[in-house]
Amino acid sequence: MYSETDRLRIRAAWLYHVEGLTQNEVAARLGINRVMVVRILADARRRNEVRVSIASPLAEFVRLEREVEARYGIARVILAPFDDPEEDPVKVIAAAAGTFVSGIMRPGMTVGVGWGRTLYNMLPFISGNTLEGFRVVSLLGGIAAARRFNPAEFAWQFAELFQGEGFLVPAPAVVDDPETKHALLERCGLAAIFEMAEALDVALLSVGGISTLTTSFRTGYISEADRRSLLEAGAVGDVLYNFIDEAGNVLDHEVNKRVISANLTKLRRTPERVLISGGREKLVALKASIETIRPTTLITDEQTARFLAA
């Protein structure tokens, strides 16, 4: 995998030499100062990465990243190299996400986290550190049968990496009826946890598909009858168990009324929203979730990005 320093250097070179931005404009686009832009452009030249064009294997990636950024209005797209569209890209996406997440964690942050295979596989690629005042909030209820992919387990392990506090939701992700949900939120203290989710610095999210037996259905909380009913209603996937249609709208469906999770509309107020997902079975769901979440950063694989760009 290429480091974040490599990516920053090549992106700066691309913006300056190919797209013709000024050094001040490059600095503003990348969120760094002009002095750093001058230094990394000089470094790119020393490395012989800048001639008439950008001489780097990352150049094609940068072009594809920029294309997806422009098409969907995303500030930053990070791609993991992946050649085979028939294989599962979870590990490569997780590796790219781990590097990125390691670099943005800071003391005093409150980070909201979702769940799923991709996020769970990201854990070994994160460089942990001791961060003072660091808090992690799980954005949905627990799933007893999920084992490794339990939202509570992922949130707890993520908090441990940074020696932070973990705030979990002591309730199932999906309950039996809306009345039970209301009672848990109002009488059992869950509302206070979700209030924390309204003041996050970073949200780390993934997306689930619905056409195959993805994590949501393997856990047993969503039955096959529910899945068929959701498909008939136009569902293409879910974010935090909130099932969405192809346009990214949360469906008016009884399953969604039983979900114990953070409000997706309020999550869009989070300054840094990182959507981490990809793979053949999630293509339509991922495209829809971009409209739902409006991520500031998208981390996916090369093949998924080609679908999004097309």
Q: Is the same domain home to 136 and 10?
A: no
Tokens of 24: 């001040």
Q: Phi, psi at residue 152, to the nearest 5°?
A: -65, -40
3-state helix, strand, coil in the chain (%, to 5): 50, 15, 35
Domain span at residue 176?
64-309
What's the pTM value of the predicted model, to 2 decimals?
Answer: 0.81
Q: Is the same domain home to 253 and 160?
A: yes
Tokens of 67: 């294309």
Q: Is the same domain home to 195 and 247?
A: yes
Q: Is the same domain home to 158 and 51?
A: no
Q: Is the same domain home to 75 and 52?
A: no
CA distance 283 to 86: 13
pLDDT for 220 equals: 53
CA distance 264 to 282: 19
Q: Is the same domain home to 171 and 102?
A: yes
pLDDT by residue for the chain (310 residues), tens digit each? Answer: 568 888 899 999 999 988 889 999 999 999 999 999 999 998 988 887 876 445 566 777 888 999 999 999 999 999 998 888 778 999 999 999 999 999 999 999 999 999 888 999 999 899 888 999 999 999 998 765 545 556 778 898 999 999 999 998 888 888 888 888 888 887 777 888 889 999 999 999 999 988 764 544 445 567 888 889 999 999 999 999 999 999 999 999 999 999 999 999 999 999 999 999 999 889 999 999 999 999 999 999 999 999 999 8
Q: What is the CATH number of the domain that holds 266?
A: 3.40.50.1360
pLDDT for 207 equals: 94
Q: What is the CATH number of the domain that holds 43?
A: 1.10.10.10
Number of domains in the chain: 2
Tokens of 110: 């409150």
CA distance 170 to 172: 7
Q: Is the same domain home to 75 and 172?
A: yes
Q: Is the same domain home to 17 and 49?
A: yes
Q: Is the same domain home to 48 and 70?
A: no
pLDDT for 166 equals: 92
Q: Is the same domain home to 74 and 222?
A: yes
